[in-house]
Amino acid sequence: MRDPTNDRTLRAQLNRRARGFDFPGDRPLPAFVFEKLGPLGPTAGFYWLVSRPDAALFAVSFDQERARRHSCRVRPVVAPRFALRRAVPAQCILQGCAWLVDALELRDLGFGGVDPAATGRPAYHPSPMLKLYIYGYLNRVQSSRRLEREAGRNLEVMWLTGRLAPDHKTIADFRKDNGSAIKKVCARFVELCRKMGLLAKASVAIDGSKFKAVNSRDNNFTQGKIQRRQKQIEESVARYMSQLDTADRQTVAGEEPSETVLLTKTRLKEKLAKLEEEVKRLAAIEKALLASPDKQISLTDPDCRSMATSGRGSGMVAYNVQSAVDTTNHLIVAHEVTNVGTDRSQLATMAQAAKAALRSDNLDVVADRGYFKGEEILACEQAGVAVTLPKPQTSGAKSAGRFGKPDFVYLAKDDVYRCPAGEKLAHHFTADDDGQKMRIYLTKACRTCPLKGQCTTANERRIKRWEHEHVVEAAQTRLDQNPQAMRVRRETVEHPFGTLKMRMGATHFLMKTLPKVATEMALHVLAYNLTRVMNIVGIKPLLAAIRA
Ligand code: SF4
């Protein structure tokens, strides 16, 4: 291999070739500096880095054939610094990303690597790493391996990171190790939005959506799934045994079986052996499953759960992401990743998180009927949150064609219910129903009522009233007074979920376990909010707010 530093012919050739490149603001080339990079492969020869004092860099490759012909190939590999500046316009979202990270006190937020350790090589500073991740989540490049590639070839990323090109393990470790700090950055941006006046109205819509985990459906087990799989295996075993019998019958007694029969029998026996292994595997999984608290096991990501989705009969192995979205500008004010399949117990937590983020004394919340739970609505009321949500129709009487509870009117003044026959049901006693105090209302008039067949199958109709029912009624009254609330809810909260899922692509989360998935979601939410603010106010007010 020829060394251009010691070969005048090659140096002349190289100089001539390199001058052929049209670099903006080019000046007469001073002497090159050669630096050996090393072999690239068995046929590629060697690459040499050739740099100019103004940092324009080229790579020169030599292979055996070119070396013989005193020829080389020269191509730029890293653009000059001035070109990097030109690669990022002064008014683009990347400027907002860079300014935002530069304005953060990363040490106070809990990022590691701000202060180098006393020994060893200093770690990458969290600033370029955080910028790299925000860039990735803004541009649908969430994987650490793809971010590694972008850091080496993408001018915008080079500008953001100052040409640092960490390897994928370093990039992945940053996200893994700084989860709580990344979530704080997301919260800080919400605070910035509030200071910019983008969250002036204390009104949010709360909803949850299922986001796919990395765990496949085949690697998630419930008791029902195991039983179904065991049944399938039993059927397969019976089928293979029958095929074995058929193969045996094809051989006449006393004769050697043909080669085809032998091959068929070998194949069937292999399949039966595999099924036997599968039975043992399922038995071990069932044992672990029965010992787990929620009788469900996910083998790849232990925290995710099989959840029903809005599609009839469909489900996915997923996380349930809760979000509170501002009804004016559709910014995500608060979010939470859970592995609980239903929304029923999330309302108070999310409403209080949104109220804290908005720093408001009062808050209006609109949610769908999936959030209806008396205790949650009561907790919201006590926290100064006015909830608007419809009551689900779960009345068995109504579905059986009889009068439902909504057909009975509560008269607060007299503490009685008026029934469809005009009779008054008075309070008779109080019962404990699953920890809730229920007041029971009834009337003796039922026995002679002509509408009894449409009302009850018992001697008399009984109406239950929770001791805090007035809180639930107030939520329904708010909805009756504002029938547009449900449309506003849908338009508000479906917007960010749609955008987030579109950015995530076919696979939603890339990481495993709840804390890491929560970090990923915080980055997605930060990127969504950043884009949204840019779209609403533009870059200049954003930069001014960051500077302030
Ligand atoms: S059955 Fe009783 S509660 Fe029902 S309509 Fe008749 S009187 Fe009213």
Pocket test for ligand 1, best of 416, 460, 463 (most atoms within 8 A of CB): 460
Instruction: Report which listed range, 102-106, 113-117, 177-181, is most confident.
Output: 177-181
Kind plus residue range of the DSSP H or E element containing 207: strand 203-212
- Compute the distance between CA of residue 525 and CA of residue 334 in angstroms, rounded to an integer: 9
Q: Which two tokens stand for residue 74?
A: 């020269």
Closest CA to 465 of 416, 395, 424, 530: 416
Q: Which two tokens stand for residue 258?
A: 């043909």
- Tell me how far the alpha carbon of residue 423 lies from the centroid of ligand 1, in angstroms: 7
- Residue 126 clears pLDDT 50, i.e. is over it: yes
Q: How confident is the model at residue 275 (pLDDT cuts 50, 70, 90)?
A: very high
Closest CA to 421 of 400, 401, 396, 402: 402
Residue of the CA atom closest to atom 4 of ligand 1: 455
- Tell me how far the alpha carbon of residue 421 lies from the centroid of ligand 1, in angstroms: 6
- Residue 219 gets which letter from DSSP? G
Could you tell me which residue, 184 or 295, shows the higher pLDDT?
Answer: 184
Q: Kindly report, residue by residue over 156-170, the tens digit of the pLDDT.
A: 888 888 878 889 999
Angle, CA of 331, 340 and 205, to the nearest 5°: 25
Closest CA to 334 of 114, 147, 496: 496
Could you tell me which residue, 333 or 91, shows the higher pLDDT?
Answer: 333
Find tokens 């020994």 and name the residue.
Answer: 119
Section 395-407 average pLDDT: 84
Q: Kindly report, residue by residue over 331-384, the tens digit of the pLDDT.
A: 999 999 999 989 999 999 999 999 999 999 999 999 999 999 999 999 999 999
Mean pLDDT across the chain: 83
Q: Please tell me whether residue 321 adopts helix, strand or coil conformation.
A: strand
Section 6-21 average pLDDT: 56
Q: How confident is the model at residue 49 (pLDDT cuts 50, 70, 90)?
A: very low
Find tokens 């005048």 and name the residue.
Answer: 8
As a three-state string, the secondary structure of 384-404 is CEEEECCCCCCCHHHHCCCCC
- Tell me how far the alpha carbon of residue 478 lies from the centroid of ligand 1, in angstroms: 29
Q: In a 10 Å sphere around its CB, with 0-12 CB exposed, 13-18 middle and 19+ buried, how is residue 180 labelled?
A: middle
Q: How confident is the model at residue 16 (pLDDT cuts 50, 70, 90)?
A: low
CB 228 within 8 A of CB 345: no
Atom nearest to 420 CA in ligand 1: 5
Q: Please tell me whether residue 366 adopts helix, strand or coil conformation.
A: strand
Neighbouring residues of 116: CB distance < 8 A, sequence distance ≥ 6: 122, 123
- Residue 394 clears pLDDT 80, i.e. is over it: no
Ligand 1 interacting residues, C-beta cut-off 6 A: 419-421, 423, 443, 445-446, 449, 451-452, 455-456, 461
Instruction: Classify strands 385-388 and 363-367 as parallel, antiparallel or unpaired.
Output: parallel
- Compute the distance between CA of residue 78 and CA of residue 155 in angstroms, rounded to an integer: 9
- Tell me how far the alpha carbon of residue 441 lies from the centroid of ligand 1, in angstroms: 12
pLDDT of residue 498: 92
Q: Please tell me whether residue 317 adopts helix, strand or coil conformation.
A: strand
Determine how many CB atoms are found less than 10 A away from the CB of residue 504.
19
Atom nearest to 451 CA in ligand 1: 6
Closest CA to 511 of 238, 173, 53: 173
Q: Which two tokens stand for residue 208?
A: 């949850």
pLDDT of residue 63: 46
